[in-house]
Amino acid sequence: MYGFDSYVAIGDSFTEGLNDELPDGSFRGWADRLAEVLADGHPGFQYANLALRGKMLAEIMSEQVPIALDIKPDLVTLCAGGNDIIVPGADVDAVAAQFEAGVAALREAGITVVIFNGPDTKTLSVMHMLRGKVGIYNAHLWAIADRHGARMVDLWAMQPLHDRRAWSDDRLHFTPEAHRRIALRTAEALGIPVDGDWREPWGELEPSTWMDSRRSDLTWTKTHLLPWIKRQLRGESMGDGLAPKRPELAPFTREPVVAPVPAVQQALPAPERLTDSATAS
């Protein structure tokens, strides 16, 4: 209906859909929401979502991009690298170069590619310290999109994502309403008409006091930061032992089909990892 008969989503937890949780505990997310739009009135439409939480860029490039190139769908969405750039000492330029190689391969195969820059973390307590790195990476992503003819979904400029109601308590993943808005924004980037406006204001919100913010920081540190540090020290990832929710290109259904973890994936060595966020997702 919109020129896309097949769609493969690749990336990390942002594309997997954390924390847009369904009643059964699985995750929907903006990519599933976009697939639903593409499948509407198009019974032949097929969709796969290979994204998995905790994935580093090298893993996405070696595990997911080759599958997408083999399938050669009409559309691929790619968001990756955030888990890499927020690691202390990470070389953002090198991460961007690796990302560009993946985009170039997909575009050379004749695939429409949509990429995402990182959201502005200015309003997020503690996480605002990542703003400079995210901004540098975003500049690279805009240049990559321009050089290879990829389409960009500008999360940094999405004003609704500056509201704390767009963010889960972990300050890393988006809420269901934010996923809905990102799906609308992505459809817009593809020129697809939708019902709904991602720009719609959230409405009034009472500002938190400094004490509330301080208490929230302490809770966040105990609940999310310290467990992440432990995983880092152990070389573990949130995605260990899990498999993509939609591992094969198939007619779109609302229910994800989760396959067993392939033996080859189980055997892969774990590189330095990081829990996800939207640029790190």
> Is residue 281 domain-resident?
no
Count how many domains the chain has: 1
- For CA atoms 108, 39, 153, 259, the dihedral sign is negative
CATH (domain of 84): 3.40.50.1110
> Is residue 146 domain-resident?
yes
Give the pLDDT band (50/70/90) at residue 266: very low
> Is residue 258 domain-resident?
yes
d(CA 84, CA 86): 6
> Is residue 153 domain-resident?
yes
Please give the residue that has the higher pLDDT: either 261 or 30.
30
Domain that holds residue 126: 6-201+212-266
> Is residue 207 domain-resident?
no
> Is residue 185 domain-resident?
yes
User: Is residue 113 within 8 Å of 107, Cβ to Cβ?
Assistant: yes
Structural Rg of the chain based on CA atoms: 18
User: Is residue 59 within 8 Å of 256, Cβ to Cβ?
Assistant: no
- pTM comes to 0.83
Token pair 């990081």: residue: 274
pLDDT digits (tens, 9 = 90+) for 162-203: 998 998 877 678 999 999 999 999 999 999 999 999 999 998
> Is residue 206 domain-resident?
no
Longest CA pairwise span in the chain (Å): 54
> Is residue 179 domain-resident?
yes
pLDDT digits (tens, 9 = 90+) for 219-254: 544 454 545 545 655 665 666 678 999 999 999 987
